[in-house]
């Protein structure tokens, strides 16, 4: 979903708001939703280690940024010990490889807050009401604008935050995304 398409859904009820403001607030809402909920996890592959070098760049898909690294595995699915730079640009393996092998990084991502132009459709499909509410809340809270309404902004923000909570629960219980919690058999 493009942020410009999402902005069109934010504008109704916000008389006089410029399209670019609605688009910026839509991007901000999606970035915050992804950052707070950890809804978008993806594997970063095609990283091949080299003997004697333990540090490698983390390169997410274009328009995305990494906000957390969940794990690093080698080509045999063995978990590796690692450290991540504070800006999530590099990963350093605890044990410098003696031989070359492929690694996979499982990362939590969000659209780039500056250069991102879109986000995964599944996020919009599942949480459109909540994301639109988050964007509207930010617009409605802008001071001294024709569309300013702090009471409605608070109501929309509650919908947005409830969506973040629901996304976290859905992820934790395996109903959305990759499950990190194994459900008990009854």
Over 70: is that where the pLDDT of 170 sits? yes
Q: Which residue shows structure tokens 């760049």?
A: 57
Over 50: is that where the pLDDT of 184 sits? no
Whole-number Å distance between alpha carbons of 104 and 107: 10
CATH code for residues 41-111: 2.60.320
- Please spell the DSSP secondary structure of 107-135, one letter per residue: EEEEE-TTT--B--HHHHHHHHHHHHHHH
Higher pLDDT, 63 or 183: 63
Over 60: is that where the pLDDT of 75 sits? yes
What mean pLDDT do residues 21-34 have? 97
Higher pLDDT, 180 or 158: 158
Whole-number Å distance between alpha carbons of 48 and 102: 4
Q: Where are the domains of the chain?
A: 3-38+119-172, 41-111
Burial 83-112 (b: 16+ CB within 10 A, else e): ebeeebeebebeeebeeeeebbbebbbbbe
Q: What per-residue confidence (pLDDT) applies to 46?
A: 79
Name the helix (H) or strand (E) containing 57.
strand 55-57
Give me 79's structure tokens. 């978990």
Q: What per-residue confidence (pLDDT) applies to 177?
A: 52
* CB 67, CB 51: distance < 8 Å: no
What mean pLDDT do residues 28-53 have? 94
pLDDT tens across 79-133, in order?
Answer: 999 999 999 999 999 999 999 999 999 999 999 999 999 999 999 999 999 999 9
């Amino acid at each position: 979903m493009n942020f410009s398409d999402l902005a069109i859904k934010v504008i109704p009820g916000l008389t006089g708001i410029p399209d670019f403001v609605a688009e910026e607030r839509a991007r901000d809402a999606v970035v915050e939703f992804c950052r707070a909920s950890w809804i978008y996890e993806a594997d970063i592959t095609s990283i091949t280690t080299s003997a004697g070098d333990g540090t490698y760049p983390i390169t997410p898909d274009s328009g995305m940024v990494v906000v957390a690294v969940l794990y690093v595995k080698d080509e045999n699915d063995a978990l590796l010990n690692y450290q991540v730079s504070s800006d999530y640009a590099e990963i350093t393996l605890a044990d410098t490889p003696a031989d070359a092998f492929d690694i996979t990084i499982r990362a939590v991502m969000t659209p780039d807050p500056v250069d991102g132009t879109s986000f995964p459709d599944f996020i919009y499909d599942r949480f459109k009401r909540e994301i639109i509410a988050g964007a509207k809340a930010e617009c409605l809270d802008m001071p001294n604008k024709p569309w300013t309404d702090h009471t409605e902004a608070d109501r929309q923000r509650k919908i947005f935050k409830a969506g973040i909570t629901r996304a976290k629960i859905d992820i934790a219980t395996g109903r959305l995304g990759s499950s990190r919690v194994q459900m008990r058999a009854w």
